[in-house]
Amino acid sequence: MSKQINVALIGNPNTGKTSVFNALTGLHQKVGNYPGITVEKKEGICKLPRGVKAHIIDLPGTYSLNASSLDENVVIELLLNKTDKDYPDVAIVVSDVENLKRNLLLFTQIKDLEIPCILVINMSDRMRYKGISLDIDYLEKQLETKIALISTRKNEGIDTLKQLITNYKELSITPCLHASEIDKDYFDRLRQAFPNQLLYKLWLVITQDVNFGKTNRQEIEAIASFKTKSKEDLKRLQQKETIKRYQFINNTLKKGQTIDASQAKGLRANLDRVLTHKVWGYVIFAFILLTIFQAIYDWSSVPMDFIDSTFASLSEWTKNALPAGAFTNLIAEGIIPGLGGIVIFIPQIAFLFLFIAVLEESGYMSRVVFLMDRIMRRFGLSGKSVVPLISGTACAIPAIMATRNIESWKERLITILVTPFTTCAARLPVYLIIIALVIPEGRILGLSYQALTLMLLYLIGFGTAIFSAYLLNKVLKIKNKSFFVVEMPNYKLPLIKNVALTVLEKTKSFVFGAGKIILAISIVLWFLASYGPGENFNNAEEIVKTEYASQNLSEDEINQKVASQKLEHSYIGITGRAIEPVIRPLGYDWKIGIAIVSSFAAREVFVGTLATIYSVGNDEEETIKNKMAKEINPITGGPLFTLASGISLLLFYAFAMQCMSTLAIVKRETNSWKWPTLQLIIMTAIAYIAALIAYQFLK
Amino acid sequence: MQVTIAHLKRGEQGIITDVSSAHIPLKLLEMGCLPGNTVELLQVAPFQDPMYLNINGTHLAIRKETASHILIEKIIHE
């Protein structure tokens, strides 16, 4: 078998790099993580002529090799470690024909690393609209490279690109300019000290704080001793370097590119006039948000109902088809409902990712960031916090990962800390069942009380997020270099293929990521609820039969009593009784307590746990609801779920940090246990106090 | 008084004369915010902040605070 060619796709954000990746690899791609960090690693296989295969890595988008974020670090680390198994044989630098000038900066840097380079000029279909023409031969000569002019939208030029990859050995590795001229003395000394090293690599090591895991330690330290210059001097030198590169690029493009501005059509200007307008901009944004919520909660109810009933009948079917026993029960009562609890969120999550992907691809999201920055800054957030806060209504996990492009660490940290307050999809099942139980079915001004309550809960979540951001901004003493740059890309019609692949891949990673935890918890729960120590559990049947011997109950009723008796004395029941004193002031009994404790892993477990605890055989919502309505509070003698205890529960779930996966992701993103621990303690405290006040006041 | 990008009005253009590198992140320089390049103010959010600019063909938005560290010479069209 011939050797695979390692190819790295590099480019600025918004150049259509991912479209090129999709065009080359199609469905032969997989998404993972770089070891130890949450940066996505996208790789794929591309079949080239003559049976050659290329292994393609889609590196995170970056404006230059001077890394300023975790994602960009990945790029420079790979390009500097020749021993890395993914070290590219050839680099493809993707640029956008309309932003060639800026895109070439990164290209000249990569050329300095003496890696064989292909320059892809993407979106060639837009040249006509913009009156751009290029002298490809001239550019190839000046830039010491081969150019592939392609259009992923029209599917043009991909074969040329594949041909160039196949013949990568013919590519030049000569740098296209001499950046070291900016300070001859300094670079000469550097060259003498390390004659065997690439000069530009040394320079990058000196100016960056990159973790070079695979480079020789001693070497790094020796280079570090070369940091004789002060930080300011180095930065000034970097500025000189950038100017030098742009001079070269400007000169090259002066001859190699002509733009006939009279041909340009100003779609961008016209759209911007409306979409970033001081009034209309906000009106349109509000309208889009409403549409998204409508879609997520309305359109997805049909597939969700379908999934719900499918899993219910699957569970039923398993019970009948497999021989009775502990193993069958584990599958039918533990694993299948557990899986159902994950799968049921797929429609909502997919819709949300669909909208976010469309908003990002079209270029609209940058306009929202622009519109919201000033408002968000009052609360210690950034315009870029809007994206996480919107995504948070589906799930806090991708939302927290979306904070990465916020430049200011303080603004980013605050966004991470407050995002879990927004009402995520997992709270919805809890809200719906409690609202149905305790909120009366009246109407006011044509709106039902129940719908209003739900809306109020969303507002509470959002309000708390903003308000706590405001407080954190006052409290946190972090030296804040507030800076904010957002590129405003051109408006584009999103490519269906790109959007579909994004939705598919994000949904998949949510299902498998969160799914593993939910599944594990549901198995453990089932076990704890199905086994228990001592006489009371093991002889439950006898005990119940003796106790109710005189009452002449039907077999079904007896079975239910047995199940309750067992549950009460199972491991989980014992735990529940132990924590009862803590939760009684909130108006809960030990069963709700268990549901709360088990839903610490994931909120949506709450309903499932109550379903198990209230010894309901089938999962029909109506039945759970009726059972819950019949529960009696042992102290008051009245119903357990009253307005007071219901509101108390709703508030508890609105505030509490009931999600292990979120805590795990916060730990990874902040690189410390301090923040998730604080988050857990503070959010739980707020939840407890709010629930306590609500119950004591309303009861 | 020195004129900076923060002094531009909508539709006005200028040529960047100096960038105080202590206050400006390298990333912004790399996006083309360098002496000699032209800048046009395309749009402002309420309270003139952030500012939506076209610098050297790159469209980007920055906060007013950052903009006030980029010195320019206004281009006056007759």
Pick one of 2.40.30.30, 3.40.1280.10, 2.30.30.90, 3.30.200.20 as the CATH number of B5-75. Answer: 2.30.30.90
pLDDT of residue A51: 84
Say if residue B3's pLDDT is above 80: yes
Smallest Cβ–Cβ distance between B45 and the set A101, A236, A371 belongs to A371
In chain A, % of residues over pLDDT 90: 25
Provide the mean pLDDT of chain B: 88
> CA nearest A69 in B: which residue?
B27
Residues of A in contact with B35 (CB under 8 A): 243
Instruction: State the pLDDT at residue A609.
Output: 72
Residue A692 has pLDDT above 90, yes or no: yes
Tell whether A367 and A254 lie within a shared domain. Answer: no
Q: What does the mean pLDDT of chain A come to? A: 83
Do A425 and A315 lie in a common domain? Answer: yes
Q: Does B11 touch chain A (CB under 8 A)?
A: no
Residue of B nearest to A12 (CA): B31
Q: How far off is chain A from B1, nearest CA to CA, in Å?
A: 24
Residue A33 has pLDDT above 70, yes or no: no
Of A100 and A622, the structure prediction assigns the larger pLDDT to: A100
Which region among A53-62, A233-242, A619-628 has the lowest average model confidence (pLDDT)? A619-628
Per residue in A270-294, pLDDT tens?
Answer: 899 899 998 999 999 989 988 877 7
Q: Residue A554, class by beta-carbon neighbours within 10 Å (0-12 exposed, 13-18 middle, 19+ buried)? A: exposed
**Quick one: pLDDT at residue A218?**
55
Percent of chain A residues past pLDDT 70, beyond the cut: 91
Condensed to tens digits (0 to 9), the pLDDT of residues A152-190 reads 888 899 999 999 999 988 888 888 887 778 888 888 888
Task: Provide the residue count of chain A.
Answer: 699
Chain A, window 205-264: residues with a beta carbon less than 8 angstroms from a chain B beta carbon: 232, 235-236, 238-239, 242-243, 246
pLDDT in tens, A190-221: 888 887 778 888 888 888 766 555 455 556 56
Indicate if A248 and A331 belong to the same structural domain: no
Length of chain B: 78
Cβ atoms A51, A1 nearer than 8 A: no
Interface of B with A in 28-47 (CB under 8 A): 28-32, 34-35, 42-43, 45-47
In this structure, are A255 and A346 located in the same domain?
Answer: no
Q: What is the pLDDT of residue A622?
A: 46
Does position A615 have pLDDT exceeding 50, yes or no?
Answer: no
Nearest to B57 among A99, A370, A488 (CB): A99
Last residue of some domain: A475, A507, A536? A475
Q: Is A242 in contact with B30 (Cβ distance < 8 A)?
A: yes
Q: What is the CATH number of the domain that holds A65?
A: 3.40.50.300
How would residue A7 be classed by pLDDT, with cut points 50, 70 and 90? Answer: very high
For residue B61, list chain A residues with Cβ-Cβ distance below 8 A.
366, 369-370, 373, 484-486, 488
The per-residue pLDDT for A669 is 82
Domain shared by A310 and A173, yes or no: no
**Alpha helices in A476-554, H assignment, sequence order:** 496-530, 534-538, 540-547
Delimit the domains of chain B by residue range: 5-75
Cα Dmax for chain A? 103
Q: Is residue A393 part of a domain?
A: yes
List pLDDT tens digits, range B10-38.
Answer: 989 999 998 876 778 888 888 888 888 89
A68 at interface of B, judged by CB pairs closer than 8 A: yes
**In a domain? residue A48:** yes
Confidence label for A528 from pLDDT (cuts 50, 70 and 90): confident
CA-nearest of A171, A226, A223 to A197 is A223
> Do A146 and A291 fall into the same domain?
no
pLDDT category, A616, cuts 50, 70, 90?
very low
Q: What is the spatial distance between Cα A451 and Cα A439, in angstroms, rounded to a whole number?
A: 10
Q: What is the mean pLDDT of residues A347-367?
A: 85
Average pLDDT for residues A555-574, to the nearest whole number? 77
**A683 in a structural domain:** no
Number of domains in chain A: 2
Last residue of a domain, one of A447, A475, A503: A475
Are A165 and A21 in the same domain?
A: yes
A28-37, A123-132, A580-589, B4-13: segment of lowest average pLDDT: A28-37
CB-based contact A383 B22, cutoff 8 Å: no
Which pLDDT does position A598 carry in this prediction?
77
Do the domain assignments include residue A56? yes
Which pLDDT band, with edges at 50, 70 and 90, does A343 fall under?
confident
B contacts of A272 (beta carbons < 8 Å):
42-43, 52
Mean pLDDT computed over A477-500? 83
pLDDT at A372: 93
Domain assignment present for residue A309? The answer is yes
One domain for residues A93 and A170? yes
Distances in Å between the Cα of A310 and the Cα atoms of A23, A210, A301, A303, A334 are 36, 50, 14, 10, 16
What does the pLDDT read at residue A72? Answer: 82
pLDDT of residue A618 exceeding 60, the answer is: no
Q: Is residue A205 part of a domain?
A: no
Q: If you count residue pairs, one on A and one on B, with CB atoms under 8 Å apart, how many are there?
A: 109
Contacts of A238 in chain B (CB under 8 A): 26
Q: What distance in Å separates the CA atoms of residue A553 and residue A197, rounded to the nearest whole number?
A: 87
Residue A222 pLDDT > 50, yes or no? yes
Q: In angstroms, how far is the first alpha carbon of chain A from the final one? A: 76
In the prediction, which pLDDT does B30 show?
87
In a domain, A107, yes or no: yes
The predicted model gives A467-488 an average pLDDT of 85
Statement: residue A514 has pLDDT above 70:
no
A423 found inside a domain: yes
Extract the tokens encoding A412.
């980013």
Residue A654 reports pLDDT greater than 90: yes
CA nearest neighbour of A647 among A697, A613, A605: A697
Q: Are residues A117 and A68 in the same domain?
A: yes
* Residue B50 preceded by cis peptide, ω within 30: yes
Q: What is the ipTM of this complex?
A: 0.94
Q: Measured between CB atoms, does B16 come within 8 Å of chain A? A: no
Testing the interface with A: which of B26, B30, B49, B60 to mutate, by most A Cβ within 10 A? Answer: B30
A169 and A290 inside one domain: no
A340 bridge partner residues: none
CA–CA distances in Å: residue A242 to residues A63, A179, A250, A420, B50: 12, 9, 12, 40, 25
Q: A236 and B21 in contact by Cβ < 8 A?
A: yes
Long-range contacts of A268-276 (CB under 8 A, 24+ apart): A268/A490, A268/A491, A268/B59, A269/B42, A271/A491, A272/A367, A272/A488, A272/B42, A272/B43, A272/B52, A273/B43, A275/A364, A275/A367, A276/A367, A276/A370, A276/A371, A276/B43, A276/B45, A276/B52
Q: Are A468 and A678 in contact (CB under 8 A)?
A: no
**Domain of residue A114, residue span:** 5-181+242-261
Reported as a single tens digit per residue, the pLDDT across A67-125 is 777 778 888 888 888 888 889 999 999 999 988 989 999 999 999 988 999 999 998 88
Higher pLDDT: A127 or A631? It is A127
Mean pLDDT of all residues in A455-470: 93
* Per-residue pLDDT band at B61 (split at 50, 70, 90): very high
Question: pLDDT tens-digit profile of A360-417?
Answer: 889 899 999 999 999 999 998 999 999 899 888 877 887 888 888 787 888 999 999 9
- Are the Cβ atoms of A68 and B62 closer than 8 angstroms? no
pLDDT of residue A695: 94
A256 and A290 assigned to the same domain: no
- What is the structure's pLDDT at A621? 42
Determine the pLDDT at residue A302. 82
pLDDT at A567 over 80: no
Clarify whether residues A62 and A10 are in a common domain.
Answer: yes
Among residues A475, A498, A521, the one where a domain terminates is A475
User: How sure is the predictor about A617, in pLDDT bands with cuts at 50, 70 and 90?
Assistant: very low
Residues of chain A neighbouring B60 (CB-CB closer than 8 A): 485-488
**pLDDT of A630 above 90:** no
- Answer whether B50 sits within 8 Å of A484, measured CB to CB: yes
